[in-house]
């Protein structure tokens, strides 16, 4: 039984300037204990997907048009808001990208952690505070700093507080939206290590949203590559890194500065992300794709399973495989 | 040995704050050969951007000397400084806040040309700006677009065109690709390299992204809390980092390869404050190898291996040199 199953989720932002197709019918499922990496560039729809699962898409202008989100076999989209509130922060919680804005600047950090404990566990104020201090300790903040305010912490420490809030009720699913993008490399390594340990300890499943393939390689079991609101490639870590199939994923890998410094020029993906109010016909990636053919401009490719657990959206996968020397893929 | 375009000796930049003197850049020295790229790496708050700006004279140095083409430019003011900026330019980190939102692309690129009275007559100006737009890969139709209509990659190209407008010899690139997505980042990096090959530009490339700096730089200077801790050519630095901090940041970069299991050298703790720093090595309280003596005496930059400088008391015995 899957912990989370998303089926044909479609989220648009209906704005005065047009209909922004942020998420266009994505489907995936997650087993208990999995870490799924949701990878893509700005505007790919990663964060909107996460907000959709939390039912936090700002409405208006955001609107979930279609789809099902089955969590523990219950459809979250069918739940009334009051029910959703009992789930958020309790069974599913989220870590936001920017710890500077995710915390309340005029509230002590221990109270911010205790708030969520009190709401979901029914403990009284002093017990929830005690629980909050334990939680802060778990994420590496000494209890004597519990009475401090967010501005007294550094970026890395603030993100630890955010993580403490997210994990306070031992959620079954944790959605981490670029949790380390705002942090320096050494602090990033500390935070990622800690998240991995806590995930093991609490048996939490995680959706990790990131644009950094290095972080994906180190933390995820499954990877979904998103482009223009669709999952263009989905597979296990090994599938994505070693059997890279979709031209966009290949382009992403080729854009990274290589580890061996002998390569003088990078091979970027030409062109830009398409305008989400006016997506190209057919395959959204076709204007930037080096292998584009006529069919690609006319018909959107269906999800094709190319090996167990590895699926892609591309018409010419077979042809590509023959054309492309294997050595070029996945450095 | 080819000519040194830029030489910086004992450069210091302090800021006065209510808490005391903030040592943003403390006694940093380096040289850059013409046509090369020096990468300056470090975490936020290590003084790398301040260093770039002080070199350009955007900030006045507290102490130290800067030589550009053999001439001391540290004390230049007024006309002298203005003339100097023909040769020394900067590309800013954030293409969102470094462009005037009320000027269109054409006007933005024309600003330096107008300030320096480079072009006589409208036609000449038009030709120059169009030429610059072509050089950086901006379509002609965007000439009258405003910054908010452009995506990050294109905005950064406008920033690059502005920096190139006066045909400088030297450009400080202050995190030029940090705000961009990987596929766009690769496009901009290629552009910067092409321009360097074509025009023989010299770059200081300030960044926190080690994989970018490894790709683009010839030499690297690693900074920590205002001081230079290690300096070497790029290959050597990545092959044999000598300073414990450099080892720490190299080990902390996530590698996009599932077969490489990196050796973890987790640096504990965080940056301390650069305000009135205590004597001794500034990295000592995070360093896994620090001893009592590290906290007392300041380490001196030494050439441990040919061309490879490091400021660490214990570098010799830790690396078996």
Q: Does the beta-carbon distance from A185 to B208 stay under 8 Å? A: yes
Asked if the model's pLDDT at residue A130 lies above 70, the reply is: yes
Q: Are strands A173-177 and A92-95 parallel, antiparallel or unpaired?
A: parallel
Phi, psi (degrees; rounded to nearest 5) at A105? -70, -20
Asked if the model's pLDDT at residue A327 lies above 50, the reply is: no
Q: CA-to-CA distance for A174 and A203, rounded, in angstroms?
A: 11
Is A55 in the same domain as A153?
yes
pLDDT digits (tens, 9 = 90+) for A262-300: 677 888 888 888 888 888 999 999 999 988 888 999 999
Is A81 in the same domain as A214?
yes
pLDDT digits (tens, 9 = 90+) for A133-153: 998 988 888 888 899 999 888
Q: Does the beta carbon of A215 lie under 8 angstroms from any beta carbon of chain B?
A: yes
Is A140 in the same domain as A260?
no
| Cβ-nearest to A259 among B186, B234, B255 | B255
The verdict on residue A226 lying in a domain is no
Is A180 in the same domain as A277?
no
Cβ neighbours of residue B111 closer than 8 Å, sequence gap 6 or more: B103, B162
What are A128's two structure tokens?
A: 């929830």
Half-sphere exposure for A122 (CA within 13 Å, toward CB): 1
Q: What is the distance between the terminal CA atoms of chain A, rounded to a whole angstrom?
A: 35
Is A52 in the same domain as A172?
yes
Asked if the model's pLDDT at residue A1 lies above 80, the reply is: no
Last residue of a domain, one of A157, A187, A220: A220
Is A215 in the same domain as A262?
no
Last residue of a domain, one of A220, A254, A289: A220
The verdict on residue A229 lying in a domain is no
What are A142's two structure tokens?
A: 């000494």
Q: Does the beta carbon of B189 lie under 8 angstroms from any beta carbon of chain A?
A: yes
CB proximity under 8 Å: A 88-117 to B = none
Is A112 in the same domain as A183?
yes
Q: Does the beta carbon of A156 lie under 8 angstroms from any beta carbon of chain B?
A: yes
Q: CA-to-CA distance for A11 and A282, rounded, in angstroms?
A: 19
Q: CA-to-CA distance for B258 and B98, rounded, in angstroms?
A: 38
The verdict on residue A191 lying in a domain is yes
SS3 A140: coil
CA–centroid distance for A81 within its chain: 23
Is A168 in the same domain as A250?
no
Chain B residues touching A216 at Cβ < 8 A: 256
Chain B residues touching A267 at Cβ < 8 A: 186
Phi, psi (degrees; rounded to nearest 5) at B48? -70, -40
Q: Does the beta-carbon distance from B254 to A218 stay under 8 Å? A: yes
Q: Does the beta carbon of A214 lie under 8 angstroms from any beta carbon of chain B?
A: yes
Is A266 in the same domain as A158?
no
Q: CA-to-CA distance for B215 and B193, rounded, in angstroms?
A: 10
CA–centroid distance for B282 within its chain: 21
Q: Does the beta-carbon distance from A257 to B189 stay under 8 Å? A: yes
CA distances from B74 to A327, B3, B39, B58, B64 (A): 51, 20, 22, 11, 8
Distance from CA of A41 to the nearest CA of B (A): 6
The verdict on residue A231 lying in a domain is no
Is A208 in the same domain as A301?
no
- Contact criterion met (CB below 8 Å) for A262 and A79: no
In this prediction, residues A186-208 reach a mean pLDDT of 87
Q: Does the beta-carbon distance from B270 to A218 stay under 8 Å? A: no
Q: CA-to-CA distance for A26 and A10, rounded, in angstroms?
A: 7
CA–centroid distance for B98 within its chain: 17
pLDDT digits (tens, 9 = 90+) for A62-119: 899 999 999 988 999 999 999 999 999 899 999 988 888 889 999 999 999 999 999 9
A162: domain range? Answer: 4-220
How many separate domains does chain A show? 2
The verdict on residue A120 lying in a domain is yes
pLDDT tier, A329 (very low <50, low <70, confident <90, very high otherwise):
very low
Computed over every residue of chain A, the mean pLDDT equals 88
Q: CA-to-CA distance for B167 and B86, rounded, in angstroms?
A: 7
Is A187 in the same domain as A73?
yes
CB proximity under 8 Å: A 171-200 to B = 184-190, 192-193
Query: For every one of its 321 residues, what pLDDT tens digit does chain B have, with 9 covering 90 and above?
Result: 457 899 999 999 999 988 888 999 999 999 999 999 999 998 888 888 899 999 999 999 999 999 999 999 998 888 989 999 999 999 988 777 889 999 999 999 999 999 999 888 899 999 999 999 988 888 888 999 999 888 888 899 999 999 999 999 999 999 888 878 888 889 889 999 999 999 999 999 999 888 899 999 999 999 999 999 999 999 999 999 999 999 988 888 888 888 876 666 667 777 777 888 888 899 988 888 888 888 888 899 999 999 999 999 898 888 887
Last residue of a domain, one of A220, A253, A274: A220
Cβ neighbours of residue A78 closer than 8 Å, sequence gap 6 or more: none
| Cβ-nearest to A256 among B248, B251, B256 | B256
* Nearest chain B alpha carbon to A187: B270
Q: Domains in chain B and their CATH numbers?
A: 4-87+168-318 (3.40.50.300), 97-167 (no CATH)
Is A147 in the same domain as A113?
yes
Q: What is the CATH number of the domain that holds A46?
A: 3.40.50.300
pLDDT tier, A261 (very low <50, low <70, confident <90, very high otherwise):
low
Q: What is the distance between the terminal CA atoms of chain B, rounded to a whole angstrom?
A: 27
Q: Write down the pLDDT at residue B262.
A: 64
**β partners of residue A210:** A39
What are A249's two structure tokens?
A: 């994923």
Evaluate the CA torsion angle B115, B118, B122, B126 in order and state its sign.
negative
pLDDT digits (tens, 9 = 90+) for B60-110: 999 999 999 999 999 888 898 999 999 999 998 877 788 999 999 999 999
The verdict on residue A99 lying in a domain is yes
Q: Which of A183, A186, A190, A331 to mutate to test the interface with B (most CBs of B within 10 A)?
A: A186
């Amino acid at each position: 039984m899957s912990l989370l199953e998303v089926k044909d989720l479609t989220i648009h932002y209906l704005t005065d300037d047009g209909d922004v197709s942020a998420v266009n019918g994505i489907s995936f499922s997650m087993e208990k204990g999995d870490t799924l990496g949701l990878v893509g560039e700005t505007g790919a729809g990663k964060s909107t997907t996460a907000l959709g699962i939390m039912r936090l898409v700002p409405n208006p202008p955001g609107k979930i048009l279609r789809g099902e989100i089955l969590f523990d076999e219950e459809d979250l989209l069918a739940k009334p808001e009051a029910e959703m509130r009992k789930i958020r922060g309790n069974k599913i919680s989220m870590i936001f990208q920017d710890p500077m804005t995710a915390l309340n600047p005029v509230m002590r950090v221990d109270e911010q952690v205790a708030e969520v404990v009190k709401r979901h566990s029914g403990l009284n104020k002093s017990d929830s505070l005690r629980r909050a201090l334990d939680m802060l300790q778990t994420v590496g903040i000494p209890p004597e700093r519990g009475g401090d305010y967010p501005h007294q912490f550094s970026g890395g420490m603030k993100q630890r507080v955010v993580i403490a809030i997210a994990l306070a009720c031992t959620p079954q699913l944790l959605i981490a939206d670029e949790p380390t993008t705002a942090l320096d490399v050494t602090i990033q390594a500390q935070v990622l290590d800690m998240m991995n340990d806590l995930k093991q300890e609490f048996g939490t499943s995680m959706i990790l949203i990131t644009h950094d393939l290095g972080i994906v390689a180190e933390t995820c079991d499954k990877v979904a590559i998103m482009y223009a609101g669709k999952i263009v490639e989905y597979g296990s870590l090994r599938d994505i890194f070693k059997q890279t199939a979709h031209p966009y994923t290949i382009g992403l890998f080729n854009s990274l500065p290589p580890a061996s410094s002998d390569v003088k020029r990078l091979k970027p993906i030409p062109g830009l992300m398409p305008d989400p109010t006016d997506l190209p016909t057919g395959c959204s990636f076709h204007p930037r794709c080096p292998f584009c053919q006529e069919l690609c401009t006319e018909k959107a490719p269906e999800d094709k399973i190319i090996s167990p657990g590895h699926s892609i959206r591309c018409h010419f996968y077979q042809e590509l495989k023959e054309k492309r020397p294997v050595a070029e893929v996945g450095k | 040995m080819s000519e040194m375009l830029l030489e910086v000796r004992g450069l210091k930049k302090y800021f006065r704050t209510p808490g005391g003197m903030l040592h943003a850049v403390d006694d940093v020295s380096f040289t850059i050969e013409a046509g090369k790229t020096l990468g300056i790496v470090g975490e936020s708050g290590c003084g790398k951007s301040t260093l770039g700006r002080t070199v350009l004279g955007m900030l006045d140095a507290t102490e130290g000397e800067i030589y550009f083409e053999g001439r001391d430019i540290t004390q230049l003011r007024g006309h002298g400084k203005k003339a100097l900026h023909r040769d020394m330019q900067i590309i800013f980190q954030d293409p969102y806040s470094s462009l005037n939102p009320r000027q269109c692309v054409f006007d933005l690129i024309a600003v330096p040309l107008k300030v320096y009275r480079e072009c006589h007559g409208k036609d000449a100006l038009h030709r120059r700006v169009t030429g610059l737009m072509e050089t950086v890969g901006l379509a002609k139709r965007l000439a009258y677009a405003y910054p908010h209509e452009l995506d990050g990659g294109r905005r950064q190209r406008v920033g690059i065109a502005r920096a190139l407008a006066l045909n400088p010899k030297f450009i400080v690139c202050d995190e030029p690709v940090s705000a961009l997505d990987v596929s766009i980042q690769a496009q901009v990096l290629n552009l910067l390299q092409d321009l360097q090959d074509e025009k023989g530009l010299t770059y200081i490339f300030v960044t926190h992204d080690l994989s970018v700096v490894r790709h683009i730089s010839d030499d690297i200077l690693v900074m920590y809390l205002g001081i230079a801790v290690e300096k070497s050519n790029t290959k050597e630095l990545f092959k044999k980092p000598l300073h414990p901090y450099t080892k720490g940041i190299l080990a902390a970069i996530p590698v996009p390869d599932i077969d490489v299991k990196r050796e973890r050298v987790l640096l504990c703790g965080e940056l301390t404050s650069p305000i009135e720093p205590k004597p001794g090595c500034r990295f000592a309280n995070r360093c896994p190898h620090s001893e009592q003596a590290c906290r007392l005496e300041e380490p001196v930059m030494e050439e441990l291996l040919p061309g490879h400088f490091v400021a660490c008391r214990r570098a010799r015995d830790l690396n078996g040199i």
